[in-house]
Structure 1
Amino acid sequence: MRWQSLLSRKRLAKDGLAPELPYRSAFEIDIDRITFSTSFRRLSDKQQVHGIGGSDYVRSRLTHSMEAARVGRSLGSWAGAEIIARYGQDAVPASAADIGDVVGAGALAHDLGTPCFAHTGEDVISDWFAGTTLGREILSGVDGQQAAELSNFEGNAQGFRVLTRLQGWRAQGGLQLTAATLGTYGKYPWAAPAFAGEERPHKRKYGFLGSETDLMAEVAGELGLIPIGRDAWCRHPLAYLVEAADDACYSIVDIEDAVKMRMLSFADAEELLEPLIDWDRAEYEGIEDEDRRLIYLRARAIDRLVTDAAAAFLDKLPDIMEGKPVGPLLKMIARTDALKEISDVSYTQIYRGHQRCETDIIAARTVTTLLDAYAEALLAREKAGPGADLPRRFASLLETVPGIRQIPYDRAGWTRSLMDYIAGMTDRFAIRQAQLIAG
């Protein structure tokens, strides 16, 4: 792969290159378009970990995305300077700051496809299609790839659809972001399996839906990503930095939030974070307040992980540029054991803790209620056909769906629209709709 192509400023579904502005780069424009999108605003009411059971202090998907974007910008700028030094400015058509903006944009957008209730929502949607009578009936009427997408709902793929089709005012290309930003966003640039048993680059993860295959192919072709199979390409090199920014943020700040939620003690957090940081013991001992000490620990830990991730990226860059998968950067650093300990504690005491399980119960009932009602009504609409009268309970319910008259009647089309609607809901809106349906 070549940086001349990988840093392409060409915008999706737009002919030619837009003129460069003297005060705002193409990649800064990408950041602006993401920031002002409706889907980005909705992240303020989508849970990061603690959801509706959390306090006003703990992070939402919005604050997490903003933090990951700042870490991504630092990683990208740091790595960008070395990329230019290694390959030469003639081969790298961007500044270090530009590369930082590309990574920052990818990180800012990385959770836009997250459904209500985040990973719990993904699991409940997947389980509903794979495990209920109505869900399986719907799957029987779509092709193998869409059935795989529905029974293994993937927020990353939904996010690519949001960026390239659902958001923005333009008729084509969604937000019409640059190819560089869209490529950097894509941690999993391949489609779901088209049939049971088809081997894919990852057992569960995929990065775009069948409905956006042509758009992904356009992006991959512009960037020069290396094909690795059916509707599959290697990662954009900068996608590794987006992944590292996300990993560095959530692994550390979930510990900070858990202390605020009294799921962990301050002493627990101190013990977990201490191995990650380079101590200035006198500076730390001079901080008397535990809240401020926690901020210090979080800041120092993330700073250390940024440094280590950048070094790992630069070490693996020759392999990455050949399209070879190298794995998450933070699994290559000297402090991997400390991160593993944080991961283990997070799983047992935070992600599977009592408070989180209470939130998951609400999420499961909410999403199941929504799918039961809307899928039944849309299936009845499909069977009745255009212009037919529906029973009042279906007709009234479907009037609550935005743009219902534009939703297709064919199974593949309306299931996509249903997923767009439910995945786009905020947590509180989903709960209100489920309560309305349940009466």
Structure 2
Amino acid sequence: MKILYSAVGDTDPIRDLRDGAILHIVRWYQPDKAVLFLSKEMTEKEEARQWYTKPILAVKPDCELELIKTDIVDVHKLDSLYRMTDEFYRLVDAYPEAEILLNTSSGTPQMKMILAVLAIEYDKAKAIQVSSPQKGSNRNTEHLLDTTPVEDIIEGNLDNLPEECENRCTEPKLRFIKYRQVARELVELVQAYSYKNAVELANKNRDILSQEVLDLVQHAYERSNLDYEAAEKTLSQYPAYEEFLFPQVRDKAAIKLREYLWVMEIRLKQDYKQDFFVKLSPFLYELLCFYITKKLQIPLEKFTGKKNYDKMQLSEIKENFPEYYQKLKDTLPYPLRDGQNLSYYYLELFLQTREEVPEAIKKTLQTLRNVESKIRNKQAHQIQPLTDADVKAAVGKSMQEIYQDIQAVFYFVLGDHYRVPKEMVYDQLNQKLEELLKAQV
């Protein structure tokens, strides 16, 4: 649906035997509805002679008309025209899917300015400018006399003749005036790793942003949601961005761990401590599973007795890893029994028995087990958000120190073989987005 929203000026509806701006837009854009904002003077003209509605219906008989009649006299004062904005947003609320055509060529300069600003602010609005037949100012063109019958001016309108009518409408790209503001907000959002909000802002401003920017923001959003396949597909049309995908790492399990670690780093930088620690346990568990199965070449069924099963079987453990079995008996504060879920806690104890693991890493693994246990316990017994002081008091380490321990284990597990980059990809993506947004100005 197309709706024309317009103020009414002295050159409407017809002047100098040609369409005024309102009539010309109706002729060339064929809106389904026209909403006219009338000052007190224009209201009196319309009520006396249907001065504006009759010419519109002569051009488009099925056009629905709505007149906003006011008693505004000071049409040259912006403070008198606030209702123009209110009526516009009333239309937006009533017709959320409609394209709204804004006539920026009728009314006083103040009215035109308001309509131009609305075209900048609302992405579904289209500003339309109508040139005079003289391709210049209309100031020297005589006004129609109020005594001229409206039927006569309609009949004498040369724009009714196809051979005489030339499209004088243009669509100024006013929303590019908003570009700097949108670009600045986008940069602030991505620097805060707030990619969901960045995608929403970008999609609302698709008409002023390049497809490359839109795709990079979408990629960052998908990637930060751990939808790596979708994120990879989004960037597939940009060979230059292959560096962001790190093609040298093709092991899906390694990719999953790398992406998960970076999301944890995002949560750390955003100071979302609860979410950081919620992600800690599953990440550490998957990391040790990767090390045991990929590096040590030990299938997990040696702990569980069968594939795709996560319950420990003591008979399997006793047979396959007697030293580990004894360590469990010596360490656990409760009796051993079958059916315990395989977890980071149990896998960390297993690695304490392995000569392949350096002592420094064993110590770090033990530290992280302590962190996991104490923070999980603290979160379970308080409703207040965790503070840095809470974390330090509980485990004797800062958030950054804990993350450095996680990184140390991560890079030990994956090692040089997987060539995992140490710089977080999101900072590179953010830098590239900032460069693109600056280049588009």
Task: State the TM-score, normalized to the length of structure 1.
Answer: 0.20
More strand by share: 2
Query: TM-score scaled to structure 2, two decimals?
Result: 0.20
User: If each structure's helix is expressed as a fraction of its own residues, which one has the higher value?
Assistant: 1
